[in-house]
A and B are shown apart, each in its own frame.
Chain A
């Protein structure tokens, strides 16, 4: 008897090891539903809550990636807007070319980019974006953010492009005042980075504070109906034939991030026509 106890004392750890190894082997190779189910219940009550709260925390680190996904999706949706297309059914042209009949032709395409430099306090303000002619960006393309119009591409290098922002005295944007449906020109007069002026609106137009200003779409740089801002102040001088309207920009220029560049597909063609027109 004492021999047995001595034996157990001496080899107890080895016996335990064998038992534990057997247990782990059972865990590995036991595929019976019942035991798996029991393990699953332990898992659901202890492991899953821990993982869940930890993942809530980790989620914040993925926000940037998530953001990029959303930007990509926005771009995709933007490209599908019907205002990017001209539908040929009712044009005289399409009647003679049956293969184009009923087909829509894309006139605007979009490229997404990020702002890497931006100024608002100078007399000539520029924005630099992280896409260049390698991403098929060209001079005179329009740039806008989800909040509204930003400017027009001014200079392009391989990987970057300079954008003449709305806050630049040379930027003139053809704009439409709604609901009066009058067309004028938006320009900046220096100083305040939150406000621009809309000029060439006829005296008789009914304007109210809070009216909206969109791009007109006549310039073939901007697609139509991109938000510019809201009427802030009306300056009516009786001796002038036009009203000057102060507009609050919808974009906060001090905080720019992701932007879209508009590619106007038939711009060259239209520009050529315009050039002929001037030569005559």
Chain B
């Protein structure tokens, strides 16, 4: 129950943050971080898939309304949601995701976190940028935007993650004790 409230609050905060602050950022005139995907990345994996897709759809839709880019973010969010479990499976190796572990993101090493966030962020940004432009005409310019944006968003997301989850150290130390 508590987790549900936390996640709903997270969605509200991050969508507000995205719409009211991050959409106004344009670093070097073209970089614009999409921090809102934080709440999609860290949505607990045991939420039913149907719910996950619906959440992703509406999150993208709201962002689209505010960014005046109909459907672009919606599409990217859905794809992100679809890829997410496969990526986690792959990163975890043999271990199955289906073990009901609520703190799936909270005692992972930094490298795991980095690969996870970079991969999904890159995918999301790639889709957003190329669907918005919708041509491969200025391919390398678009790609540089994607890469720049990915670096920016990843930095922000990892920073936020390590700031708002101070329990990381506790859980890791307790797990080493056992």
Contacts and interface: CB of A to CB of B under 8 A. Distances in A.
A54 interface: yes
Interface residues of B, number: 26
Interface in B40-94: 48-50, 52-54, 56-57, 60, 64-66, 68, 70-72, 74-75, 78-79, 81-82
Nearest to A21: B78
A199 B64 CA distance: 72
Interface of B: 19-20, 24, 48-50, 52-54, 56-57, 60, 64-66, 68, 70-72, 74-75, 78-79, 81-82, 131
B46 to A, nearest CB: 14
A33 interface: no
- DSSP majority for the B interface? helix
Interface stretch (A40-48, A73-81, A134-142, A249-257): A40-48
B53 A24 contact: no
A17 B53 contact: yes
B49 A24 contact: no
A28 B49 CA distance: 24
Given A21-B75, A24-B60, A26-B71, 11 more contacts: A13-B52, A20-B57, A20-B78, A21-B78, A24-B71, A24-B74, A24-B78, A29-B71, A43-B65, A43-B68, A50-B19
How big is the A interface, by class? Answer: 20 to 34
Interface string A1-44: 00000000000110011001101111111100000000100110
B54 A27 contact: no
A58 interface: yes
B50 A47 contact: no
Interface of A: 12-13, 16-17, 20-21, 23-30, 39, 42-43, 46-47, 50-51, 54, 58
A42 to B, nearest CB: 7
Contacts, number: 58
Given A16-B50, A17-B82, A46 B65 contact: yes
Contact of B131 (A16, A23, A28): A28
A13 B53 contact: yes
Contact of A24 (B19, B24, B65, B75): B75
Contact of A16 (B54, B64, B70, B71): B54
Contacts of B79: 21
A52 to B, nearest CB: 12
Contacts of B65: 39, 42-43, 46-47
